[in-house]
Homo-oligomer: A and B are copies of this chain.
Amino acid sequence: MEHNQNLSQKDNNDNVEYVTSYDFEYIHKLATQILPFYSDISPKSELPDPKHNKRLQTLLGLLRELHPADVASVLEGLPQKERVLVWKLVAPEEDGDVLLEVSDAVRESLIETMATQELVAAVEDMDSDELADLVEDLPTHVMDEVLQTRDEEERAQFQAAVSYEDDQVGSLMDFDMISIRADVSCEVVLRYLRRFDSLPEHTDKIFVVDENDILQGVLPIRKLLISEPDDEVEKVMARNVVLFRPEDNAEEAAQAFERYDLVTAPVVDNDKKLIGRLTIAEIVDVIREESETDMLNMAGLNDEEDLFAPVWDSVKNRWVWLAVNLVTAFIASRVIDAFESTIAQIVALAALMPIVAGIGGNSGNQTITMIVRAMANAQISTSQAWLLLRKELGVALVNGVLWGSVMGLVSWWLYHNMGIGLVMVAAMTLNLLLAAVLGVAIPVVLEKMGRDPALGSSVLITAVTDSGGFLIFLGLASLMLL
């Protein structure tokens, strides 16, 4: 590994441990302690107070040894002021790598603190696909200045990369490819490789193309290493290649990487001309982000959020889902209001109704999560919806009768009223059945409509089981108890 993140404070080993939360906490502590001297601090300064100076030098030493990805994590975990302080201390030659590693939300806050020339220096050595990743955050004049120094090929690569959506393979590909012809011997390939100063990261295969850059196959390094020097590439190469087009969906590409245990894969255009490659490093980010986005969306957060963002930024990130929640809660409230006279006669109903709504929401969320997950993994097709529905109805019936009876007995005992108990059993069972129907229907319909079934389906199902639960329970009570 080229990385040098030996935290000698923690480990006197020659070999390197990876950085853990323990180390982050130590860095956070140092940053907080020297924060009062903010204006006196620069990468080369010494503080007059020996105790604080020691802390500053320790911090500088640690930052020098950290991998840019670790520096990014440190910055993400720091409040605004401490973050700016640590960012000042990071060596300028690492700035670019850290900017690439840090989350979108935090990148903005870092770029704000940098002067134009610092920014240009930080990004001028980047590959064109890396520059493209920053296109939304870098000020236009910085980007223009940097692009001017590029040759035509690189500018074209940059244009290609920015022209794809975030969820397309084209936005993930890089251009660090090594390609060879099929009619040379393995020995020639080895000699050719030896001429490079370094090979691209993750190089596990070499792309075999014809004179028009049309992909013919790939030569896995694993095969190259065991082949006879005289063997022709043509004979050794694999012709069946998992390949991608820039328009392909990134999440499907990630699934292919996972299923076929890929490390890199070629990206080709419609004529099968080689235009880029995907690496597992980008794919791992897709996998991580995909599930995190689902989790954030299910919790009603719009976007990845900077933990220490100003209050107002956080309010903006969260208000949409709170508003949606208020609207659905308001509808449920109107349902209850419609039964005002029923509740006035039997006040116990007001206490029991949240139980019916609650269990419906919980059960519906179980169903919907399972189905959204299976859809994301491409395990089920919408044509199987009927089978799933039948099964979920069975589960709902069992749970409804089981837990409905428990709560029915408890209600009977509490309110000395068998009618209330029976209404509880019936309402809980019916609301669970409703939850099962919609737990299957909502993701299937969203998918058919071409929408992401994860987004908002939890809010939808809860809205239905709340309003539906109140309606079923209070409706049954009005019919049977008054």
List CB contacts (< 8 Å) of A345-387 with chain B. 347-348, 350-355, 357-359, 362-363, 365-366, 368-371, 373-374, 377-381, 383-384, 387
A466 → chain B closest CB, angstroms: 7
Q: Are A240 and B384 in contact (CB under 8 A)?
A: no
For A101, the chain B residues whose CB sits under 8 A away are: 259
* Bound-complex Cα distance A79 to B332 (A): 37
* Bound-complex Cα distance A328 to B328 (A): 22
Q: Are A322 and B243 in contact (CB under 8 A)?
A: no
Q: Are B280 and A263 in contact (CB under 8 A)?
A: yes
**Is A449's CB within 8 Å of the partner chain B?**
no
Q: Are A337 and B358 in contact (CB under 8 A)?
A: no
**Is A301's CB within 8 Å of the partner chain B?**
yes
* Bound-complex Cα distance A292 to B198 (A): 38
Q: Are B365 and A300 in contact (CB under 8 A)?
A: yes
Residue of B nearest to A27 (CB): B381
Majority-rule SS of A interface residues: helix
Q: Which of B284, B369, B398 contacts A315 (CB 8 A)?
A: B398
Q: Are A288 and B258 in contact (CB under 8 A)?
A: yes
Task: Choose, from A54-62, A88-96, A148-156, A399-407, the stretch at the interface.
Answer: A399-407
Q: Are A225 and B190 in contact (CB under 8 A)?
A: yes
Q: Which of B21, B70, B261, B368 contacts A281 (CB 8 A)?
A: B261
* Bound-complex Cα distance A75 to B309 (A): 45
* Bound-complex Cα distance A359 to B466 (A): 13
Residue of B nearest to A459 (CB): B362
Given contacts A259-B73, A261-B201, A373-B296, A2 and B238 within 8 Å (CB-CB): yes
Q: Are B299 and A366 in contact (CB under 8 A)?
A: yes
Given contacts A193-B225, A370-B305, A16 and B315 within 8 Å (CB-CB): no
Q: Are A384 and B28 in contact (CB under 8 A)?
A: yes
Task: Choose, from A109-117, A119-127, A139-147, A388-396, the stretch at the interface.
Answer: A388-396
Q: Are B291 and A383 in contact (CB under 8 A)?
A: no
User: When each residue 292-309 of chain A gets 1 if its CB lies under 8 Å from chain B and 0 otherwise, what string results?
Assistant: 101110111100010111
Q: Are B196 and A226 in contact (CB under 8 A)?
A: yes
Q: Are A239 and B399 in contact (CB under 8 A)?
A: no
* Bound-complex Cα distance A203 to B263 (A): 10
For A118, the chain B residues whose CB sits under 8 A away are: none
Closest 4 CB pairs of A and B: A291-B291, A18-B256, A299-B369, A69-B259
Q: List 6 A-B contacts (CB under 8 A).
A: A18-B255, A76-B374, A204-B204, A261-B281, A280-B284, A322-B403
